[in-house]
């Protein structure tokens, strides 16, 4: 049975995210810092991991969400589906619209979360990882036992976003402006791993982190 060391179990089910009985490690980062690579590593080790972005995508795919988006910003609906590239432009340029959509998504998140967590065999691990980009922005760090930041500088983030998504520098900077500054996230984090080298280095750092905080 894999467990968190007692020093890192800071909450109970009454004040933990979605009232979970098991301790939670919050995994976060900023856009293009390499958080997804970290998630894939943890999954490869069989560690229960809930991906907040995946949950959001599942909510977006529901007919009631498509109807909500259609009523809110019909111009981003094409062929009965959401054009996410178009939605992203509206989302990051309209603060009121952004808050309305975020509130809708988060109101449906607990149910999706609990369904996903129930899929795991809880006889092997006494903790789980919650991969959530907006950990600090939404104040979720207060509902997580410990958190881990995958870090890259803002300049590196912008460069990676432009290369990965084909975005302009202006749009990349705009996207970053809607996230808490990566240096502030670093200050708030319990653990920080710098993703500035190759993937092998990242894997070594992640393995060391798990060794440091868990008991076999």
Closest to 161 in 3D by CA, of 88, 70, 59, 68: 88
- Mark out the alpha helices in 130-193 (DSSP H runs): 154-165, 169-177, 182-188
User: How confident is residue 122, by pLDDT bands cut at 50, 70 and 90?
Assistant: confident
Strand partners, 124: none
Residue 89: left (phi > 0), alpha (psi -120 to 50), or beta?
A: alpha
Structure tokens at 201: 């280095």
CB proximity list for 33: less than 8 A, separation 6 or greater: 150, 151, 152, 156, 157, 182, 195
Closest to 134 in 3D by CA, of 16, 216, 27, 22: 27
> What pLDDT does 165 receive?
86
Closest to 60 in 3D by CA, of 73, 50, 69, 52: 69
- Do 72 and 18 touch, CB atoms closer than 8 A? no
Closest to 60 in 3D by CA, of 29, 87, 26: 87
- Do 120 and 114 touch, CB atoms closer than 8 A? no
Euclidean distance between CA atoms 52 and 60, whole angstroms: 12
Residue 47 has pLDDT above 80, yes or no: yes
Phi and psi angles of residue 141, each rounded to the nearest 5 degrees, phi first: -60, -25
> What pLDDT does 92 receive?
83
- Do 190 and 148 touch, CB atoms closer than 8 A? yes
What pLDDT digit, counting tens, does each position of 58-111 carry? 999 999 999 999 999 999 998 889 999 899 888 888 889 999 999 999 899 999
Model pTM score: 0.86
What pLDDT digit, counting tens, does each position of 130-175 carry? 999 989 988 999 999 999 999 999 999 999 989 988 888 998 898 8
Q: Determine how β-strand 191-194 pairs with β-strand 146-151.
A: parallel
Structure tokens at 158: 């912008």
């Amino acid at each position: 049975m894999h467990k968190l060391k007692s020093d890192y179990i800071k909450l109970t089910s009454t004040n933990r995210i979605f009232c979970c009985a098991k301790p939670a490690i919050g995994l976060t980062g900023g856009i293009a810092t390499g958080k997804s690579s970290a998630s894939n590593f943890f999954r490869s080790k069989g560690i229960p991991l809930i991906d907040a972005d995946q949950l959001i995508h599942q909510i977006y795919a529901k007919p009631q969400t498509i109807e909500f988006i259609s009523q809110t910003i019909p111009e981003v609906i094409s062929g009965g589906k959401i054009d996410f590239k178009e939605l992203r432009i509206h989302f990051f340029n309209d603060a009121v619209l952004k808050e309305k959509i975020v509130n809708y998504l988060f109101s449906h998140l607990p149910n999706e979360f609990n369904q996903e967590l129930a899929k795991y065999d809880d006889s092997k691990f006494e903790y789980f990882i919650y991969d959530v980009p907006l950990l600090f922005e939404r104040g979720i760090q207060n509902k997580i036992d410990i958190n881990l930041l995958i870090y890259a500088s803002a300049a590196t983030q912008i460069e990676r976003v432009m290369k990965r998504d084909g975005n302009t520098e202006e749009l990349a900077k705009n996207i970053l402006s809607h996230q808490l500054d990566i240096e502030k996230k670093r200050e708030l984090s319990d653990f920080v791993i710098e993703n500035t080298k190759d993937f092998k280095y990242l894997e070594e750092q992640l393995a060391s982190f798990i060794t440091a905080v868990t008991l076999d």
